[in-house]
Amino acid sequence: MNATKVSGRKQPLIYRLPVISHFRSSVGLQRGMLVTGMVLAALFLLVAVFAPWIAPYGFAQLSDAAGPFPTQQPPSPAHIWGTTVGGYDVYSRVLWGAQTAAVVIIVAVAMSIFLGVALGLVSGYFGGWLDRVFVVIADAIYAFPSLLLAIVMSIVISHGQSSFWGGIVACSISISVVFVPQYFRVIRAETIRLKAEPYVESAKVVGASSIRIMGRHIFKNATRTLPLIFTLNASEAILTLAGLGFLGFGIEPTSAAEWGYDLNKAIADASSGIWWTGVYPGTAIVLTVLGLTLVGESINDLNDPRLRGRKKAVAGKGGPDSTAGTQAAPEAEAEVRLP
């Protein structure tokens, strides 16, 4: 995206980074949404990184120097968000849960981007029967309820329950199976469009290999929409992880703190009026997903000139690549298909 050498004035790298460039072109309400989203997402990341230092107890800790933790205790100075039926400290588990969620998102989305982009490039560039087979399979998977697919995958990979890294990897693979078709579709569509561009043909004429054309000429121009899909998928990944945990196919509570699992246990508590075991982890999920979705939404709107708030176009854009990039159709499609 930022490697094409455009003669003339060029903005510093920092202004061309995805979120920052979007921030600069936003106004009013859209800027508010973007900033809110960024604050929430940053908070989530900070908690995820610093959980071991912020959390007063470990995620699987059941007792301290003063003796075992009481069970189902309402919020008190010792346990500011109360304790669960198993005697875990709710506050600590919510903080540690951010770490689990962050790791799963990163692993899952990285895997799906890698696979989806590679398959999409190959499929779109070469076409033919390979392309058709990939498209039919991707469509079949795409049409399938994603949570069910993730459940089936997690059963297959981990037989339901497992250790921290085992669980993380199992969850991530289960989630990425759902996402690969999405990246595949977007990248394939872009590749087919870019394949017809004059600069690709001229690269062919001078004898560049297919791999070089895909990697150098198409990849860098086709991945323009990835920040958008990344943020939207990150939020979906959290929801899928929580759904898996809620149904009991996630990570074991002694291996890692996981919000979905905690909510599963909290459903039974709710009937007897115990609210603190469910409300806190649930709110954590909502705020995290909300933050990531707000960022994704804003990027989507700012990419689409029809949805962008009124402000003059960003100056300094030039060169054949960026004019080719003003077509907003893929984003529009991505938005319609979002949830």
Strand partners, 63: 68
- Which are the contacts of 6, defined by CB distance < 8 A and separation ≥ 6? 318, 319, 321, 322
The encoded tokens of residue 309 equal 């708030």
Query: To which residue do tokens 């392309």 refer?
Result: 131
Cα 17 to chain center, whole Å? 18
> How far is it, in rounded angstroms, from Cα 189 to Cα 184?
8
Q: For another protein, how many residues bind (rule: CB under 8 A)?
A: 56
104 forms part of the interface with another protein (CB under 8 A): no
192 forms part of the interface with another protein (CB under 8 A): no
- Which are the contacts of 59, defined by CB distance < 8 A and separation ≥ 6? 88, 92, 93, 96, 97, 253, 256, 257
Number of neighbours of residue 210 by Cβ within 10 angstroms: 12
Question: Which CB, 227 or 260, lies closer to another protein?
Answer: 260
Task: Please state the closest distance from residue 49 (CB atom) to another protein, in A.
Answer: 22
Cα 321 to chain center, whole Å? 27
Task: Please state the closest distance from residue 204 (CB atom) to another protein, in A.
Answer: 25
| Residue 94 contacts residue 277 (beta carbons within 8 Å) | no
Query: To which residue do tokens 């908070």 refer?
Result: 43
243 forms part of the interface with another protein (CB under 8 A): yes
H or E element in which residue 19 lies: helix 18-24
Question: Which CB, 305 or 316, lies closer to another protein?
Answer: 305
Number of neighbours of residue 88 by Cβ within 10 angstroms: 27
Query: Which of 20, 211, 286, 329 is close enough to bind another protein by CB under 8 A?
Result: 286
Task: Please state the closest distance from residue 136 (CB atom) to another protein, in A.
Answer: 6
Query: Which of 162, 221, 231, 293 is close enough to bind another protein by CB under 8 A?
Result: 293
Task: Please state the closest distance from residue 293 (CB atom) to another protein, in A.
Answer: 5
The pairing of beta strand 63-64 with beta strand 67-68: antiparallel
Task: Please state the closest distance from residue 147 (CB atom) to another protein, in A.
Answer: 4
Strand partners, 83: 89
Task: Please state the closest distance from residue 234 (CB atom) to another protein, in A.
Answer: 12
The encoded tokens of residue 66 equal 């003063």
115 forms part of the interface with another protein (CB under 8 A): no
29 forms part of the interface with another protein (CB under 8 A): yes
Task: Please state the closest distance from residue 103 (CB atom) to another protein, in A.
Answer: 19
Question: Which CB, 138 or 213, lies closer to another protein?
Answer: 138
Question: Which CB, 126 or 142, lies closer to another protein?
Answer: 142
Closest alpha carbon to 175 in 205, 195, 149, 138: 149
What is the contact mask toward another protein in residues 126 to 155, using x (rule: CB under 8 A)?
A: ----------xx-xxx-xxxxxx--xxx-x
H or E element in which residue 327 lies: none
What is the contact mask toward another protein in residues 254 to 273, using x (rule: CB under 8 A)?
A: ------x--xx-xx--xxxx
Question: Which CB, 120 or 281, lies closer to another protein?
Answer: 281
> How far is it, in rounded angstroms, from Cα 245 to Cα 232?
20
Task: Please state the closest distance from residue 242 (CB atom) to another protein, in A.
Answer: 5
Question: Which CB, 53 or 129, lies closer to another protein?
Answer: 129
| Interface ranges with another protein (CB under 8 A) | 28-29, 136-137, 139-141, 143-148, 151-153, 155-156, 159-160, 235, 239, 242-243, 246-249, 260, 263-264, 266-267, 270-273, 275, 278-279, 282, 285-286, 289-290, 293-294, 297, 306-307, 309, 335-339
